[in-house]
Structure 1
Amino acid sequence: MSYAREDAQDRLVRVWFGHNVIASYRAEPGLAARYAAAMERRFTGLAVTNEPLTVVRDETGNHSSKDS
């Protein structure tokens, strides 16, 4: 099975407690940046990541979201 990768506009924001994700949020770039900033204020000392969301589409047109 072959897959074509497409870059999505959406971002994936996650709040990490060690190696565990305690919050996850998917949104367009502006909202994702606001959410990440709010989580950094609320959870001082925890890692907050804001990464592009990658969409993987197979040859049938079905797709799934994958974080990169």
Structure 2
Amino acid sequence: MKLLMTAPGERECELRRIQLWLGDHLISDWIGDPGHASRYEAAMRRLFRALRMTNESVAHNS
């Protein structure tokens, strides 16, 4: 797991983390901007309807 920290004077931009789970096993972990994340999530939901998917906010330095 990567920790993203903000240094003084830097601003944060929002990123989204999409994770695909097979039971307790993480099988996909993808991070991107909100626009790409929503498209990625929709595509993965079409392909893997029975699997659990999470979509969480991730802080990122810009």
Same fold (TM over 0.5): yes
Where in structure 2 are the equivalents of 1:22-61 lying within 5 Å?
22-54=27-59
SS in 1 for 2:49: coil
What is the CA-CA distance between 1:7 and the residue it aligns to?
A: 5.7
Structure with the bigger RCO (C-alpha within 8 Å, sep 6+) is 2
Is the strand fraction higher in 1 or 2? 1
Q: What RMSD, in angstroms, separates the aligned Cα atoms of the two structures? A: 2.1
Highest Rg: 1 or 2? 1
Structure 1, unpaired ranges of 5+: 56-62, 64-68
Aligned pairs, number: 53
* Structure 1 contact 8–52 (Cα < 8 Å) conserved: no
What is the CA-CA distance between 1:54 and the residue it aligns to?
A: 3.3
Letter in 2 for 1:29: P
Runs of 4+ in 1 over 4 A off after TM superposition: none
- 1: CA distance, partners of 2:34 / 2:45: 16
- 2: CA distance, partners of 1:19 / 1:8: 30
* Structure 1 contact 14–21 (Cα < 8 Å) conserved: yes
TM-score w.r.t. the length of structure 2 is: 0.71
TM-score w.r.t. the length of structure 1 is: 0.66
